[in-house]
Amino acid sequence: MKQPSPLSEFDLISRYFANLTASRGDVLLGIGDDAALLEVPPGMALAVSIDTLVAGVHFFADVSPESLGHKSLAVNLSDLAAMGAEPVWATLALTLPEANPSWLEAFVRGFSRLAAIHGVALVGGDTTRGPLSITVQIHGFVPVGQALRRSGARVGDRIYVTGSLGEAALALKRLQAGAGEGLSVELRQRLEMPQPRIEAGLSLRSLANSAIDLSDGLQADLGHILAASGVGARIRLQQLPLCSTVMDWIAKTGEWDQVLAGGDDYELCFTAAADRHDEIQQLSQKLNLAMSHIGEVESMPGLRVIKPDGQPWLATKRGFDHFATPGSGVSDG
Amino acid sequence: MKQPSPLSEFDLISRYFANLTASRGDVLLGIGDDAALLEVPPGMALAVSIDTLVAGVHFFADVSPESLGHKSLAVNLSDLAAMGAEPVWATLALTLPEANPSWLEAFVRGFSRLAAIHGVALVGGDTTRGPLSITVQIHGFVPVGQALRRSGARVGDRIYVTGSLGEAALALKRLQAGAGEGLSVELRQRLEMPQPRIEAGLSLRSLANSAIDLSDGLQADLGHILAASGVGARIRLQQLPLCSTVMDWIAKTGEWDQVLAGGDDYELCFTAAADRHDEIQQLSQKLNLAMSHIGEVESMPGLRVIKPDGQPWLATKRGFDHFATPGSGVSDG
């Protein structure tokens, strides 16, 4: 079952990955043995998350490899942000149809730039031959008992989202429609180069009661918080943070689905007690990152989405779900 | 880029994976949030290793899913065995062409049976749609400073391998030749259901100077020990532990490559000072696992393989390497 090609597996690893990212004192032994050896400081929990990106499912096969390197780490960092954890180490399992040095160099450039920004060391990896696919596991530290969980939302909490929503979904829609050439750099970057909200997550540890990152769409992801917390919620469409491009697009089409059920925002959605509002506004200013109050946690189960006219909005599609039934509507209570 | 099918991603995860494996007190938060939260005891290093198995490269697409579940965890456990680490947690990223409940159930059965044997908890996962591929990251504990490394071999060390070699490679050869029906259960199991040598690895922490697991073939993997330790070695073909099937096959064909360069043995190769030989023999008896003395570490770089007639054996192919150049011979010095 060998399928030979011109570059050896070990060459690949040592040439591109060995000194890729941050160097850290808590890495006792990095790439090059049967396992990496790592040290977790006393009092810290280790937070881990693993995600796979598959060509043709999560990205277009012809996407820039530099963007792909960035995004494959970013989506994992976003999970740590949602836990309030500080990123420390990553492992990378890379399946490639062929050994293409220039593709690999660009991929590593995107991956390592983001890793360096967040002080992440690449500590282990595997390269295999096969259909293009990237699996990254991220590892972070969070003081025991201080992680942000999905299950902490309380009735009366305000619901917030960072940044703005819907741009990645709109970019994807345009690329799928073959309108990639007219796509603005900003919109494309929201899809291909998401910025994980690590700093926000760390600061929110002492402010928020619950958090999640928005990868599958606001409706689905907020739904996870509600289910885990045993509560319901009400959000108002006119309070959702939207850039002018998305606002124009909704004004033209009326398709709120793009914002509520579109994936890939990689913003944080969190809930906090109403009396923390001023502190959250101060944090928002300090980080230069919008934190918009979009609704409230309620005791009645379900998510109620309110239109500008005060009437309930009825969903027509749900969050991104690779194995979902087509056209299965979600009731919003 | 959505490709719907009848079972949702979250259903998949909760239905098959949530209560899959061992439950452990050091898992503060398991599957179901943005990240798992885990605790490493003081004085322990965390050992991590990640491996991907791709259909058509590492296994035949029609392999039994139960065997595949077993093997996808076993190859990672084998890496921990080679470090002398105690396995504790696993994460699983599963890419599937379709949501097939009976396939998944069998896969999980194979995975979880082996996990339970070794006390491993599944703490995180991701399911995506795409060409069949499985990535597992294993996590283990090893007291700081006590891990078995590739770099510890010393001149004068004896070289050992556990178990027997070449059966997996022979099974693969027969399956590739379409002779699967005549394959014995034992031979097929050596390929599809490898037994990671965890107990041996733990006991060898205090006996061995270096270790590696044999995934790419004895020649390539022992070569990694030699390179990392800055030494050379001599091994003798007549001392290699072979079952009667492999011995018969070599007697017929003379193809030692199958044993020296065939992959998938998942035995341990280790080196130890000569004065530890009796203790190693006692351990071998205690574990009911052969530990065969196959050669010695020498100062002259390179690996010298000696035939029964005392002459050097010359390699014709190298270890399993997904990106290797076809027919590139390796000098054995």
Tens-place pLDDT, residues B233-268? 999 999 999 999 999 999 999 888 889 998 899 999
Per residue in A29-70, pLDDT (tens digit) is 988 899 999 999 999 999 999 999 999 888 888 899 999 999
Per residue in A112-144, pLDDT (tens digit) is 999 999 999 999 988 888 999 999 999 999 999
- Is the predicted pLDDT of residue A2 greater than 70, yes or no? no
CB contact A172 to B (< 8 Å): yes
Do A52 and B95 contact (CB within 8 A), yes or no?
A: yes
Contacts of A49 in chain B (CB under 8 A): 34-36, 124
pLDDT of residue A35: 95
Contact across the interface for B35 and A47, Cβ inside 8 Å = yes
Contact across the interface for B57 and A129, Cβ inside 8 Å = yes
Give the confidence band of B274 by pLDDT, cuts at 50, 70, 90.
Answer: very high
CB contact B202 to A (< 8 Å): no
Give the confidence band of B331 by pLDDT, cuts at 50, 70, 90.
Answer: very low
- Is the predicted pLDDT of residue A324 greater than 50, yes or no? no
**pTM value?**
0.90
CA–CA distances in Å: residue A131 to residues A54, B120, B132: 8, 29, 9
CA A18 from centroid of its chain's CA atoms: 26
Contacts of B228 in chain A (CB under 8 A): 32-33
Pick the CATH number of A9-143 from 3.40.1310.30, 3.40.640.10, 3.30.1330.10, 3.20.130.10: 3.30.1330.10
Contact across the interface for A135 and B149, Cβ inside 8 Å = no
Q: Which residue of B has its CA nearest to A34?
A: B79
Do B29 and B37 contact (CB within 8 A), yes or no?
A: yes
Nearest to B198 by CA among B282, B117, B260: B117
| Helix H or strand E segment including A107 | helix A101-117
Tokens of A185: 């750099």
What is the residue-averaged pLDDT of chain B?
Answer: 89
> How many Cβ contacts (< 8 angstroms) between chains A and B?
266
CB contact A32 to B (< 8 Å): yes
Tokens of A226: 């509600």
Class of domain A150-306: alpha beta
Q: Which residue of B has its CA nearest to A128?
A: B322
CA–CA distances in Å: residue B7 to residues A67, B13, B104, B133: 30, 10, 12, 19
Give the confidence band of A1 by pLDDT, cuts at 50, 70, 90.
Answer: very low
CB contact B310 to A (< 8 Å): no
Do A304 and A312 contact (CB within 8 A), yes or no?
A: yes
Range list for CATH 3.90.650.10 in chain B: 150-306
pLDDT of residue B210: 98
Q: Which residue of A has its CA nearest to B97?
A: A323
Range list for CATH 3.30.1330.10 in chain A: 9-143
Range list for CATH 3.30.1330.10 in chain B: 10-143
Contacts of A84 in chain B (CB under 8 A): none
Pick from B40, B45, B128: CB nearest A322: B128
Give the confidence band of A101 by pLDDT, cuts at 50, 70, 90.
Answer: confident
Contacts of A264 in chain B (CB under 8 A): none
Task: Please tell me the distance in Å from B43's CA to the nearest CA on chain A.
Answer: 9
- CA distance linking residue B54 with residue B60, whole number of Å: 9
B25-44 burial, b at 16+ Cβ within 10 Å, e below that, comes to: ebbbbbbbbbbbbbbbeeeb
CB contact A100 to B (< 8 Å): no
- CA distance linking residue A52 with residue A69, whole number of Å: 12
Alpha helices in chain B (DSSP H): 9-12, 65-83, 101-117, 167-176, 185-192, 198-204, 218-229, 244-253, 257-260, 277-287
CB contact B177 to A (< 8 Å): no
Per residue in B225-237, pLDDT (tens digit) is 999 999 999 999 9
- CA distance linking residue B122 with residue B111, whole number of Å: 10
Pick the CATH number of B10-143 from 3.90.79.10, 3.30.1330.10, 3.90.420.10, 3.40.50.2300: 3.30.1330.10
CA–CA distances in Å: residue B18 to residues A8, A212, A221, A324, B36: 38, 19, 19, 19, 12
